[in-house]
Amino acid sequence: MSSRGRPVVTSHAEIERAAFRLFADRGFEAVTMGDIAAEVGVGRRTLFRYFESKNDIPWGQFDRTLDGFREILASMPADLPLHEAVHRGVQRFNEFPADAEPSHRDRMRLILRTPALQAHSALRYAAWRGVIAEHVAARLGLAPDDLLPRTVGSVSLATAVSAYEAWLADPDADLAALLDAADAGLRDYLLTR
């Protein structure tokens, strides 16, 4: 059975690369979906089939990414202490190929340093925290919206964002090492204060 309509003429990755080029040249707020569509060589309607809004582009295929995050957390050994499983999950979630385009660093720079993205990012962060809360709840026999799972999700996001900010401030910094340091620093603080 053949599908009707025009064949797919682009991909999420092509759109992201084109959009990030435009964002780097003109700034996020100056670029429109029409500009991105023209850069890719498709109509605006086609572009909206891939991304609901310009604000979604820096987040990539976020729903698929969250599904991958769930799989990462589910793959953690059941005998691994919960705090370690969550930490390792966050680290693996942040492993990207060095040649990824746009790079993880460029993506996080745009997300964390673009005021126009902050409200949209809050929604994405809530979904990310929710994945951790689901995992914690399943391990502890709680509901994802119980206080402890929600707290673990929020604290995990806070330590990750702290590591991202340090990483963006130092081009030579290693994100995995910063995620380790943020997690260890928080544990030390909680145990010794």
Domain ranges of the chain: 12-57, 61-192
Digit-by-digit pLDDT tens for the chain (193 residues) are 444 554 446 899 999 999 999 999 999 999 999 999 999 999 999 999 999 999 999 999 999 999 999 999 999 999 999 999 999 999 999 999 989 999 999 999 999 999 999 999 999 999 999 999 999 999 999 999 999 999 999 999 999 999 999 999 999 999 999 999 999 999 999 888 5
Amino acid at 117: L
Question: In terms of Cα–Cα distance, which of 6, 31, 1, 2 is closest to 19?
Answer: 31
Question: In terms of Cα–Cα distance, which of 66, 65, 136 is closest to 144?
Answer: 136
Q: Which top CATH class is 61-192? A: mainly alpha
Q: Give domain 12-57's CATH superfamily.
A: Homeodomain-like (1.10.10.60)
Rounded Cα distance, 42 and 17, in Å:
14
Instruction: Give pTM, 2 decimals.
Output: 0.90
